[in-house]
Chain A
Amino acid sequence: MERDGFSPIPKNLQFRVGLLLGLAIMVAAGFILYALYARGTFEATQRLTLVSDNAEGVSLGMDLTFSGFPIGRVVRISLADDGRARIELEVPRRDARWLRVTSIFTLERGIVGGARIRAFSGNLQDPPLPDGAERPVLRGDTQEEIPRMVATLRSTLENIEQLTGPGGTLQASLANLRAATERVSGRHGALGAVLGNDEDAKKVVAAIERANALLASMSGVVAKTDQRVLGPGGVVEGTQRAVDQANAILGELRESLKRVDKILADAQSVAGNAKSATQDLGALRAEVDASLRKVTALIDEINRKWPFQRDSEIRLP
């Protein structure tokens, strides 16, 4: 079967096909070399092992970033004998200068996308991180935080629902408030709202009216009383007269008292005489006592000098 009738076969067919094949093979080889270069095959690297309690979300080829720039990639993930995950990274030598012995590594998982390994170097003057270093990695997982957040949010929402739901306290409060405002705007105004119902409010209004009437009659009574008490021939005038009379009586009384004073002074002098008389009586008694003692001593003397006298009776004179 020939195709010459449909499209002519060019003379340099072999050259063209060779060119195409050569081009395809060169491009393929070039691409493979580029991929190897991109993977850092021709670059000196150093190893870094990060130890984490969970390597979830970490995948081979993942970047290690520093200030948002990738400086290394994950080449191996394995589970150590102690049950911790070991994430081995390859860092090109030219980028390793960003890692220092004091560098901190974090493994973060966002809601969208894979995990991210980041390096933070606080002080770039510290000594550089040695090859084959092993460092712990700090984890922060948004996805782990979400269930906790949702649980908290749910309880909050439940509380709000209880407050706002039918029969909830908020609704009852609002109903009460509405009733109160309705009363305020009603016939008895704020008084109705304060007292709770219209009948009590009516009573209060009636009480105020009665108090007003009472005050009106009271003012009449006060006027009359005024006249009786302060008017001519009133109580005050009578009292004034009584007081004058009482003053006169008191003057007389004072005179009488002066006279009584004099009598009392006389009585005092009489009493003084009586007192001195009483003092004389004391001296007299002392003399009697002394005479008695002398008589007793005399009898005792006679008794001693008179031994035959068995009769000890002494006859007092």
Chain B
Amino acid sequence: MSALEDTFAWFRAWGRAALFASAAAAAALSLSAYTARTRALAIREIYFNAWHVLPGFTLFMALLSMVVIRVTIGLARDYGLAQFALELVFRAVVLELIPLLAAFYVALRSGASIVTEVAMMRISGELDELFAAHIDPYEREFVPRIAAAAISVFALTIVSCTVVMCVAYLVTYGANPSGLDEFARTVARVFGPRAIAGFMLKSFLFGAAVAVIPIAAGLDAMRDHPESVPAAVMGGMVRLFVTLALIELLSLAAKYV
């Protein structure tokens, strides 16, 4: 395969992912997608992606952020910039690091399984059977998974962010309620309406990408060709990583550039 063909294939794969994303969005907007079966599937996915991992993930995030916050606040005090330490922690850890890590965590945990699952459905001819029976696989199989991934990322992000903010308070002021006023002022300075809206939008895009890109990659597998599964999984995971990084980059650029 020449380099030119490689490039074309790369563009085609991205194009298919974009097409799939718009088709999935259209399917998600149609009422017929919300049936008992799809709901059950979505609930099962949320359970596995979010509920199952919530304690471990939150604990991990609390530990990680505790280290980062201690280092940040200690350094800021050394440089005489203690008044900016908490704001820095909010902006760097709460607004950027945790959503990105939550998205990566869900992508690693469920993205790989989704792409394999869809590729296997493709190879076994399950999808073709659904089409033959006039059942839309988007509504029945894909939209619940996408919704579940988005909700999982959102839930993990929100819960961890809240815990990390508590950790930040405790690290900065200790168990002393007199820091609440200053804490509230810093929150007010960082979390303006634009920041909150951008945070929500970014979390939603992370969640959607975590499901959409792997499913689109799984559809790249060819029927009766089991050897195409590893290539589909690899391509899907790389594209997912690039997409998440791009979303983060764009959000940073929109906020600070």
Contact = CB atoms under 8 A, between A and B. Distances in A.
A37 B187 CA distance: 10
Given A7-B52, A13-B44, A73-B188, 19 more contacts: A1-B120, A1-B121, A9-B47, A16-B51, A17-B46, A20-B50, A21-B155, A24-B155, A24-B158, A24-B159, A27-B159, A27-B162, A32-B196, A34-B187, A35-B188, A38-B185, A39-B188, A61-B188, A61-B189
A1 B121 CA distance: 8
Q: Which residue among A1, A17, A21, A113 has the maximum number of chain B CB atoms within 10 Å of its CB? A: A17
A38 B158 CA distance: 19
Contacts of A88: none
16 contacts: A16-B47, A17-B46, A20-B50, A21-B151, A24-B154, A27-B162, A31-B158, A31-B161, A35-B187, A35-B188, A38-B184, A38-B191, A61-B189, A63-B185, A73-B189, A113-B84
Nearest to B187: A38
Interface in A8-28: 9-10, 13-14, 16-17, 20-21, 23-24, 27-28
B188 A38 contact: yes
A9 B44 CA distance: 8
B43 interface: yes
Specify which of B51, B188, B191 lies most central, judged by the most chain A CB atoms within 10 Å of its CB.
B188
Interface string A256-269: 00000000000000
A274 interface: no
B158 A35 contact: no
A112 interface: yes
A189 interface: no
Interface of B: 43-44, 46-48, 50-52, 54, 80-81, 83-84, 117, 120-121, 151, 154-155, 158-159, 161-162, 184-185, 187-189, 191-192, 196
Contacts of B44: 3, 9, 13
A31 B195 CA distance: 13
Nearest to B42: A17
Contacts of B185: 38, 63, 70
B158 A20 contact: no
Contacts of B117: 1
3 closest cross-chain pairs (CB), A and B: A38-B188, A38-B184, A24-B155
A70 B183 CA distance: 12
Q: Which of B43, B50, B120, B154 has the most CB of A within 10 A?
A: B43
A14 B189 CA distance: 38
Given A21-B155, A27-B158, A35 B196 contact: yes
A38 B181 CA distance: 8
Interface in A101-155: 112-113
A31 B162 contact: yes
A141 B143 CA distance: 58
Nearest to B180: A38
A20 B187 contact: no
A3 B50 contact: no
B158 A40 contact: no
A21 B155 CA distance: 7
Given A3-B48, A13-B47, A113-B81, A35 B191 contact: yes
Contact of A20 (B51, B84, B161, B196): B51
Contact of B159 (A13, A23, A37, A63): A23
A1 B119 CA distance: 11
Contacts of B84: 113
A40 B188 contact: yes
Contacts of A21: 46, 151, 155
A17 B51 contact: yes
Contacts of B51: 16-17, 20
